Amino acid sequence: MKKLLLIVVVPLIMAAVGYAAGVFMAPEPALQTGQYAGGDSATPGAPREILYKLPLGKFIIQVMRPGRIVHIRVNLDVYIAGAGEFEKINGSEGRARLRDATIGIVSDMAETTLWLEEGKEKDIDKEELARQIVLSLYRKFPMVRSARINEFITTRSARL
C-alpha cells in the first residue's frame, strides 16, 4: 500500500513543483499586436519600430591624466530595431563586436576632455551621452536605435 501511495503521490507533488518553477522561469510575454516600443498602441498611419533590448553589461575604462587616474564604470543597454536584426546581432559574435565597438567609442570619448572635466562627473547628462554613443554606433551598426545608461560612476585616484 505504501509503495502504491508513493508511486501516485510523488509524481503529483513533482508536477506541482515543476509547474510552479515554470511560472517563475517563463520569459516575459512579447508585445501584443498593436503595441509598439515608446507607446501603448499604434497610431493610425504612423507605425513605430519594435525595439529589442540588448544589455551590454558593465565595463570599466581607465583614463590616464597628468597626476591622476580616472576610472569610469558604465552599465549600458542598447535597443535594436526589428526582430531579424536582433537575431543577427544577439549571437555571441555579434554581441562581442557590438560591445567592443561600444567600449572603443566610450574610451575615445573619455580620452577627450570635452565631456568629462574634473568635478563635473555628477552633472553628466546621461541621455545626451547615450545619444552620442548611439550616433557613433550607428555608423557600424545601423540597427542600433537607442541606448540607456543604467550606471555611470567615475573614481579618481592619484597617479604615482
What tens-digit pLDDT sequence spans the chain (160 residues)? 888 888 888 999 999 998 888 887 877 665 554 444 555 444 555 567 788 898 988 999 888 877 888 888 999 999 998 888 888 888 878 888 999 999 999 888 887 755 556 667 677 788 888 899 999 999 999 889 999 999 988 888 887 7
Question: Strand 144-158 vs strand 51-65: parallel, antiparallel, or unpaired?
Answer: unpaired
Return the residue matching grid coordinates 567592443: 100
User: Could you give the 3-state DSSP secondary structure of residue 107?
Assistant: helix
What is the structure's pLDDT at 72?
87
Alpha helices in the chain (DSSP H): 2-25, 83-89, 92-111, 126-140
Q: What domains can be seen in the chain, in order of their start residue?
A: 51-158 (3.30.479)
Question: Strand 68-81 vs strand 51-65: parallel, antiparallel, or unpaired?
Answer: antiparallel
Determine the Cα–Cα distance for residues 92 and 98; give it in Å rounded to an integer: 10
What is the structure's pLDDT at 14?
92
What is the structure's pLDDT at 113?
57
Report the C-alpha dihedral over residues 133, 136, 138, 141, rounded to 10 degrees: -90
